[in-house]
Chains A and B, each alone.
Chain A
C-alpha cells in the first residue's frame, strides 16, 4: 500500500495554500496570473529550444553529409555547410535557431523536402487521433476500474485489476502491438493491418483537419470512415491499455485516500447509499488530482508513441521527430519540439483550469 500512496502523493498537485495569499483585486490577480503563465511559457520554450539545439550538436551525425551524401567534393560540401549556416559560431547558430522559431519559420525538412510546418500538419493529426481515442479508452475504463479496485480492496477483483494494471505498465508495447497484429489481423482476420487507412481509400478524402475520422465524416464518406476506424482499433486499444493501466492505478490510490477521510464516514453515518458515497462524494474529490494525471498521460501520448507508430506504420509525430533527430534533420526536430512543448503547456493550462472548476477551494 505504501507504494501506491507514495505514487499518489507524487502525482497530486500541490494544494492551494489556503487564505494567506489572497490578492486584493480580481484584476490584479488575473493580470498576475497571465504574466506568470506567460513567463512560464517563455521560459519552458526557451529551455526546450536550448536542450534540442545542444542535443542536435552532440549527435554524431554530420547534417551536411546527411544532405549531400558521402562522396561529394570538398567545394560542394563547404557550399552546403554555409547554406545550412553551420560555419557560424555556435552562439550565433543558437540565436538564429531561436529567432526562426519565434517567427514560426521552421524551414524545410531535409528528409521530406517539405516545409516542416506542412509535415507537422500532416503527422500531428495522426497522433492526435490515436492519442485521443486511446485516452478516452483509458479514462472510460480506467477510472471505474480504479474505483472498483479501491472499494473492493484486497478482494480478487482488486487483484485482477492491479495485475492487469501492472502488466500494462511492464509489457513492452512493441511486443503487445505485434501480438495484437498477429492475433486480430493475421489469424482472426477481425481487424485491418498496419497503416491509417486501406490503400484504395488513399486520397479519397481531402484533408481538412487531418484527422481522418472527422474528415471522412464531414465528407460523408462512410466507407473511408469505417476503414479508418478499423485501422484505429488496434493501436488505440494498445495505447489505451497503457493509459488505462496508469489511470486505474492512480484512481485506486486517490480513492483509497479519499475513502479514509472523515467526511466519508460522516456521509455514511448520514445514511447515504454506498453508491452515492463512493461515486459522488469520494470520486468527486478524487477527480481533482486525477485531472492532472489524465492530462499528463494524454500529453505523453500526444508526443507520439514511437514504438506503437513503428509497429503499426502509423505516420505520426513521434516517429517523425525520432527519425528526424536520428538523421540530423534539425529543422524538423525544432518544429516537432515546439509542437510538443506547446501541447504540454496547453494541457497544463487546461488541467489548471479544470482543476479550478472542480475544486471549490481553488475558485
Chain B
C-alpha cells in the first residue's frame, strides 16, 4: 500500500493547485498598481515626514501653498494660494487663498487652515520643521509671523530678505501641506495637534484620499471626486510592498503591476527587450562624492585636488557597478534643479594626473586613507578608485565601517577622504550650495558643520556668494550666481563629485501620465491613465 502513497500525495497536491487556479489578477483599467519597496511608512503626518514614500504620498493627499509643476521647473505654481505679493523689503509674503477648495471631509479650505498647518509644523518641531524655522520662525513667534488676516488671506513673514524664489521653493515642499484643521483637531489627543492620528491618516484636499494603509504590505489611494483641479482619471492607485527586484519584474511582465520601482540592473536588462514595457530614468537629487579633508597637507595642495578629479574612472564605474541606477555628474547642484550646470569636464586621465602630482612635489604619489561605508555601491566604487589611484602611485587604504562610524568620524573632521552621498532637503539650489559651498566659521567648534566645514575648506568667497544668491531677488541673476559658483567649484573645490541618482521606472506601455519630479516629494499620480 505504501508504494502508492507518494504518487497519491503528489496527485492531491497537483489537484489542489489546479482547483484553486485563481481568477488572474491583471490590474483593472481604472486602477494603477505599483510594485515598490515601501517599508518606511513611519508617518504620514506632513509635520513629521522624512522618508521617500510618505513624502510622495503627501504630495497626492495634500495641496501645498505653492507646488512644483514638472512641466515648468523654474517657477512654483499656485496651489492652495491662487496668487501672492511680496512686500518691498522682501520680508512679507501675502498669499491669496483659492476659493472653493474642498477637503476630503467636505469642509471648505480657509486661510486659517493654511496658516494653522504651517504653524503646526513649527510647533511640533519634528524632522522637516527646519525648512520653516530657517526663516526665523519659532514656537513663540510663529502665530504672529504666519497668520490668517481674513478668510482668504495668509501672511508669511521672514526674519530677513531672502530671494523670493528661495522662499517659494521651500514653501513648495511638503511642510506647507494644508491640513483640514477641523478634522485634525477632532482627532487630537493630549494636545498633540493630531500628531498621533495623522501618522496613519490624512486630512487633505489633494487629488487622492487614503483608502487603506497596511504597513509592510500595501497602501491604497482613491480618487477624490471633488478635487479643485478636476478628479483624477483613474479611480484607484495601489502601492504594493514588493521588496525584491525579481518578483517586481515578474509582476510587471504579467500586468499585475503597472509600474515597478526598485528593479536591479539584471532585471532592467531583460525588460529593455520587452515591447510591452517602457523604462524611464529621472535624475534625482542625491549625489555621490569624495570629500578631501583640507587638514591633510597633501590633500590641501591644489594640484593634488585637481589630479584626483582626473583619477576617477567615471565611465568604468558607471558601466560596471552602477549600471542603470546613477549617471555621471560633477557639479554640486543636481541635474534638474534650478541653476544646475551639467558640465562634466573630468574624465579618467592618468598621465595628466601624474603630471599634476609631480608639479605638487609628489611625483611618486603619497599614502592616504578613505573612510568607506560598507555597503553597495559605496564600497564597490571605493575599490575601483583604489585600483585606479595605484596606477598614479597613490596608495589609498580603505577603512571600512558602518554608516554611523564613518559619519561620526567625518563630522569630527578626522578623516583623510570620505566617500559619501548627499541629498538636498528641498527643491532649491540653496540646500546644496549651503552644504557644499558655505562655511561661515571654519574653527573646530563652529556651530555650522555642513560639508565644506567637515572638510575644513575655508572659503570666505564662496560663503559670500552663497549668501548673495540666497538674497538675490532677480531669478535670472540668482541663476547666474549659482552657475558661476559651480564653474569655480569644479576647478578648486576639495570635492570630487562623481554621480547623481536616477529614479528608474519600468512601466507598462499603456500607462501614461505618471509624473515623477527630481525630488521624492514631487511625484504625482493625478494625470495617470491607462
| Interface set of A (CB-CB < 8 Å, partner B) | 60-62, 67-69, 71-73, 76, 79, 109-114, 119, 122-123, 137, 140-141, 144-145, 147-148, 151, 178, 181-182, 184-186, 189-196, 198-200, 202-203, 223, 226-227, 229-231, 233, 237, 275, 278-279, 310-313, 315, 319-320, 323, 327
Q: A144-B5, A147-B2, A193-B254 are in contact. Are A313 and B247 (CB under 8 A)?
A: yes
Q: Are B403 and A60 in contact (CB under 8 A)?
A: yes
Residues of the A chain whose Cβ atoms lie less than 8 Å from the Cβ of B247: 178, 181, 193-194, 311-313
Could you list 24 A-B pairs, sorted by A, with CB under 8 Å? A60-B404, A61-B404, A68-B126, A69-B128, A72-B126, A72-B127, A73-B130, A113-B215, A114-B200, A144-B5, A151-B2, A181-B247, A186-B250, A189-B24, A192-B24, A198-B22, A199-B33, A200-B25, A203-B211, A203-B212, A226-B20, A226-B22, A311-B247, A319-B216
CA A193 to CA B40, docked complex, whole Å: 23
Bitwise interface map of B from 177 to 188 toward A, beta carbon under 8 Å scored 1, else 0: 000000000000
B73 at the interface (CB under 8 A from A): no
Bitwise interface map of B from 91 to 107 toward A, beta carbon under 8 Å scored 1, else 0: 00000000000000000
B241's nearest neighbour on chain A, judged by CB, is: A313
From the candidates B126, B215, B254, name the one contacting A114 in the complex (CB within 8 A).
Answer: B215
A67's nearest neighbour on chain B, judged by CB, is: B42
6 A-B pairs with the lowest CB-CB distances in the bound complex, closest first: A112-B215, A113-B199, A69-B50, A230-B22, A315-B217, A60-B402
B485 at the interface (CB under 8 A from A): no
Q: A110-B42, A113-B42, A227-B22 are in contact. Are A202 and B212 (CB under 8 A)?
A: yes
CB distance from A72 to the nearest CB of B (A): 6
CA A155 to CA B31, docked complex, whole Å: 56
From the candidates B13, B50, B128, B212, name the one contacting A237 in the complex (CB within 8 A).
Answer: B13
From the candidates A111, A178, A198, name the one contacting B39 in the complex (CB within 8 A).
Answer: A111
B40's nearest neighbour on chain A, judged by CB, is: A111
Residues of the A chain whose Cβ atoms lie less than 8 Å from the Cβ of B64: none
Residues of the B chain whose Cβ atoms lie less than 8 Å from the Cβ of A327: 40
Bitwise interface map of B from 232 to 254 toward A, beta carbon under 8 Å scored 1, else 0: 00000010111110110011011
Q: Are A310 and B216 in contact (CB under 8 A)?
A: no
CA A199 to CA B247, docked complex, whole Å: 16
Residues of the A chain whose Cβ atoms lie less than 8 Å from the Cβ of B403: 60-61
B220's nearest neighbour on chain A, judged by CB, is: A202
Q: Are B42 and A310 in contact (CB under 8 A)?
A: no
Q: Are A311 and B216 in contact (CB under 8 A)?
A: no
Residues of the A chain whose Cβ atoms lie less than 8 Å from the Cβ of B200: 113-114
Residues of the A chain whose Cβ atoms lie less than 8 Å from the Cβ of B244: 310-311, 313
B71 at the interface (CB under 8 A from A): no
Residues of the A chain whose Cβ atoms lie less than 8 Å from the Cβ of B9: 140-141, 144
Q: Are A190 and B17 in contact (CB under 8 A)?
A: yes
B425 at the interface (CB under 8 A from A): yes
